[in-house]
Chain A
Amino acid sequence: MDAFFSAEQDELRASVRRFLADRAPLAWVRGRWADERGTSDEIWRAMTDLGLVGLLIPEDLGGVGAGMQEAGVVLEELGRMAHPGPFLASSVGAASALLALDARAHARALAAGERIATLALVDAGRGFARWREPIADEAEGRLTGRKVHVLDGMAADLFLVTAGSHVWAVRRDAPGVRVASEPTVDGTRRFATLTLEDTPAELLGPIDALELAVDRVAIGLAVDGLGAAQAALALAVDHAKTRVQFGRPIGAFQSIAHLAAEMLQTVETGRAGAYYALWAADQADALECHRAAALTKAYASANYVRVASDAIQIFGGSGFTWEVDLHLFYKRLMSLEQDWGGDDFWLDELARMVVDGEARNE
């Protein structure tokens, strides 16, 4: 029984934290606010050189051969720095899918930083809840349809698209492909709409093979959210210690102190579940991994945004300004509420397992 990261994993965390502080601090994140790709060639190249981009891809395909625990360390740090860019979409989601589908050449290109990929699951007019039953149409290897909420679609040059009962690889420069940004209030995460019209596609395998990748992105988002919620809590606690009103630091007022204690309660409870899920994603069977993903994602979606909104409350008026960094985390966590299935979707997944099924219900 060991619920803690190893010394090597702690070192990885330190190096990612250093990298982000040096190269992509919050000022850099603000600078990318309106940038549809959310990253720069320079930063993505640096992340590739650090071994982050190919973290989950085996060494024989040019990657690092690490697991979700390592990816989780990276994601938590990215969340703490409200980092945009396609690490989760490409290095976690698409990489996991390509490995499950044994699409080795694509995985190799990802690890080398030559290609950025993302999953395109949700059909226009439908919610995430029905990702397993796509309506995008396939005929003789050509796809027609529209996918929405494609994570980091504007940065991607390869789309893993569900159509029929299969997953297909679609290149961005293929005929009939249109990609349009979906602007949201959150400038720290990007989504796009992918339109395909009689677009040639490469068959990769059955949709079932995506279960693990879908779970990993859910876990990844929860861990990212943990990082963002921690950052919001840290800002709020610092502020409560230094901001003086009525002759004392506002943190000495119980109304503020209790709010902060509740925020910590949310963060630490979420942390315990999120780290367990990282372990389960590496070590447990598919059912347990799915259970852990549903637990941690439902918790994250239902709770983390409250930490950021309470942090803004503690800041008072200054928390409502563009200048103070809190809104970066608030917006990222507000988005997390609904991204990749909200808590309703993941609670329904849980109910399938624990009300209908027999998953660990002792």
Chain B
Amino acid sequence: MDFRYPPEAEEFRASVRAWLEANLPADLRGVTVRDDLTPALVKRLRAWNRTLADAGYAGMSWPEEYGGRAASVIEQVVLAEEMSRAEAPGPINVIGLSNIAPAIMTYGTAAQKERFLLPMLRGDEIWCQGFSEPNAGSDLASITTSARRDGDDFVVNGQKVWNTLGEYANWCELLVRTNPAAAKHEGISCLLVDLASPGVVVRPIVTITGGREFAELFFEDVRVPASALLGPLDGGWKVAMATLSHERAGVASLHLQVRKKVARLIAHARTVERDGAPLGADPGKRRELARAYLLAEHMKFLADRALSASIQKRIPGPEGSLAKLVWSDTEDAIAAIAGRVLGPEANSGRFGDQRVYVRATSIAGGTSQVNRNIIATRVLGLPKGS
């Protein structure tokens, strides 16, 4: 075992750190893509996405032929660590870069790769995923949004929900039913849809935080050229799974934001006084802080095992499937701890917002219950339920 990073990774760290110091605009420090987005902020974040891309720090893992630098896993981890350390927002086009691009690289035609990847990389065109529907959440394969072939076009009708950045997106990776007669998983296709097309209506969803990071999309007789088909006709399920597998890979660096949150909580408890002493001097609160720290550090330990498995090219262990669950449990625990440590103050400002936002963590990207089903059957080998 050796938990140190190799010297090349530390050299890369130094260069990223220097670049961020020189290039991160002061007004973007501390902003996250999740914050209340305004058109003005979106514009700033798109410019930042472009700056990152032009320096080779967006889509870093992409092959060089598509504008990436085929970076190693450890370089990607170092970049994420340094971005977190500098409180730099990630690329606003994260859904496109992390989830949709790999699906296009795997299943796209030469023309699709040529047309979409570079503008995606630079954030010139923002992408969203059109997967979930009002009646297809955890049971994604029961989608009903339809695409009927008509001449050289598909004609799309239906509704999508929970489209991250939908309000600002230009393009959508849309999952549609192309063959209603086929079995559930076998009549689905994937289309790359221009959201400026006539018949598309985008409506923001106001979440329980009051934020508008998600939207719902309505399609009424939207004509999409047949050339927009990604992957085989009626073979969209595997394209969707490829997209989601990258979403799950993204959880590997979630410990960074969680550890940052805990560090902020601890720093706050050190400085804020109650009854003439810092909160962090109270024996009960100290234990709570240590517990939050312990949970967050264990996320890092799990991530290190997954990272190591990837570097050593071992068969991935259960860490990857567990990371999402551990993350949502940890976020939940830390939100509760923040309440016990801060008292009423935990219900306002940044901490208050976080304690509300945390409800998303066990739902978005696969509910904890679905995750446990997957772990029980695929990792533990328990029989499938009815």
B376–A362 CB distance below 8 A: no
B2–A2 CB distance below 8 A: yes
Known contacts: A2-B1, A252-B385, A362-B85. The answer to whether A264 contacts B263 by CB under 8 A is: no
Could you list which residues of chain A lie within 8 angstroms of chain B, going by C-beta atoms?
A: 1-6, 69, 237, 240-241, 248-249, 251-254, 256-258, 260-262, 264-265, 268-273, 275-276, 278-280, 283, 295, 298-299, 344, 347-348, 350-351, 354-356, 361-362
B270: chain A residues within 8 A (beta carbon): 355
**Is B340 an interface residue when CB atoms closer than 8 A count as contact?**
no
A355–B289 CB distance below 8 A: yes
Which of A253, A262, A276, A356 is close to B301, meaning CB atoms less than 8 Å apart?
Answer: A276
A264–B382 CB distance below 8 A: no
Q: Which residue of A lies closest to B386 (CB)?
A: A252
**Is B201 an interface residue when CB atoms closer than 8 A count as contact?**
no
Complex Cα spacing A241 to B4, Å: 40
Known contacts: A268-B302, A269-B302. The answer to whether A4 contacts B382 by CB under 8 A is: no
B376–A257 CB distance below 8 A: yes
A1–B383 CB distance below 8 A: no
Complex Cα spacing A270 to B305, Å: 12
A2–B259 CB distance below 8 A: no
Can you offer 7 A-B residue contacts whose CB atoms are under 8 A? A1-B308, A3-B305, A4-B308, A249-B383, A253-B385, A269-B298, A348-B286
**Is B293 an interface residue when CB atoms closer than 8 A count as contact?**
yes
B376–A261 CB distance below 8 A: yes
A240–B382 CB distance below 8 A: yes
Complex Cα spacing A69 to B1, Å: 8
Known contacts: A298-B294, A361-B263. The answer to whether A351 contacts B286 by CB under 8 A is: yes
Complex Cα spacing A235 to B5, Å: 37
B302–A347 CB distance below 8 A: no
Chain A's nearest CB lies how many Å from the CB of B371?
8
B4: chain A residues within 8 A (beta carbon): 1
A273: chain B residues within 8 A (beta carbon): 297-298, 301
A251–B382 CB distance below 8 A: yes
Could you list which residues of chain B lie within 8 angstroms of chain A, going by C-beta atoms?
A: 1-6, 9, 74, 85, 259, 263, 266, 269-270, 280, 283, 286-287, 289-291, 293-294, 297-298, 301-302, 304-305, 307-309, 311-312, 314, 317-319, 322, 325-326, 329, 369, 371-373, 375-377, 379-386
A3–B1 CB distance below 8 A: yes
B291–A4 CB distance below 8 A: no
Chain B's nearest CB lies how many Å from the CB of A329?
17
Which of A261, A276, A356 is close to B372, meaning CB atoms less than 8 Å apart?
Answer: A261
Complex Cα spacing A4 to B286, Å: 33
Complex Cα spacing A269 to B311, Å: 20
A251: chain B residues within 8 A (beta carbon): 376, 380, 382-383
Known contacts: A268-B302, A269-B298, A351-B286. The answer to whether A3 contacts B308 by CB under 8 A is: yes
B74–A1 CB distance below 8 A: yes
Which of B269, B298, B312 is close to A272, meaning CB atoms less than 8 Å apart?
Answer: B298
Main secondary structure of the interface of B (DSSP, over half): helix
Chain B's nearest CB lies how many Å from the CB of A207?
24
Chain A's nearest CB lies how many Å from the CB of B347?
22
A362: chain B residues within 8 A (beta carbon): 85, 259, 263
Which of A262, A265, A269, A347 is close to B291, meaning CB atoms less than 8 Å apart?
Answer: A347
A258–B376 CB distance below 8 A: yes
A264–B375 CB distance below 8 A: yes
Chain B's nearest CB lies how many Å from the CB of A303?
10
A299–B294 CB distance below 8 A: yes
Q: Which residue of A lies closest to B301 (CB)?
A: A272
Chain B's nearest CB lies how many Å from the CB of A324?
19
Main secondary structure of the interface of A (DSSP, over half): helix
Q: Which residue of A lies closest to B9 (CB)?
A: A1
B311: chain A residues within 8 A (beta carbon): 1-2
Q: Which residue of A lies closest to B385 (CB)?
A: A252
Complex Cα spacing A347 to B269, Å: 16
A261–B380 CB distance below 8 A: yes
Chain B's nearest CB lies how many Å from the CB of A315?
15
B384: chain A residues within 8 A (beta carbon): 252
Complex Cα spacing A33 to B233, Å: 66
A344–B287 CB distance below 8 A: yes
Complex Cα spacing A237 to B309, Å: 25
Complex Cα spacing A237 to B6, Å: 39
- 19 extra interface residue pairs, beta carbon distance < 8 Å, beyond A241-B381, A276-B301, A295-B294: A1-B3, A1-B304, A2-B1, A3-B304, A249-B383, A253-B385, A257-B377, A257-B380, A260-B380, A265-B375, A272-B301, A279-B1, A279-B3, A283-B2, A283-B3, A295-B298, A344-B287, A355-B289, A361-B266
B283: chain A residues within 8 A (beta carbon): 348
Q: Which residue of B lies closest to A233 (CB)?
A: B380
Chain B's nearest CB lies how many Å from the CB of A54?
22
Complex Cα spacing A201 to B325, Å: 53
Chain B's nearest CB lies how many Å from the CB of A188?
25
Known contacts: A298-B294, A361-B266. The answer to whether A351 contacts B287 by CB under 8 A is: yes
Complex Cα spacing A351 to B283, Å: 9
Q: Which residue of A lies closest to B382 (CB)?
A: A251
Complex Cα spacing A354 to B317, Å: 30
B2–A258 CB distance below 8 A: no
A3: chain B residues within 8 A (beta carbon): 1, 3, 304-305, 307-309
B259–A347 CB distance below 8 A: no
A347–B376 CB distance below 8 A: no
Pick from A3, A252, A268 the residue with the most CB of B within 10 Å: A3
B304–A276 CB distance below 8 A: yes
A272: chain B residues within 8 A (beta carbon): 298, 301-302, 304-305, 319
Chain A's nearest CB lies how many Å from the CB of B270?
7
Q: Which residue of B lies closest to A248 (CB)?
A: B383
B293: chain A residues within 8 A (beta carbon): 350, 354, 361
Q: Which residue of B lies closest to A269 (CB)?
A: B298
Nearest first, the 8 A-B pairs at minimum CB distance are: A257-B376, A272-B301, A3-B308, A251-B382, A261-B372, A351-B286, A350-B290, A347-B290
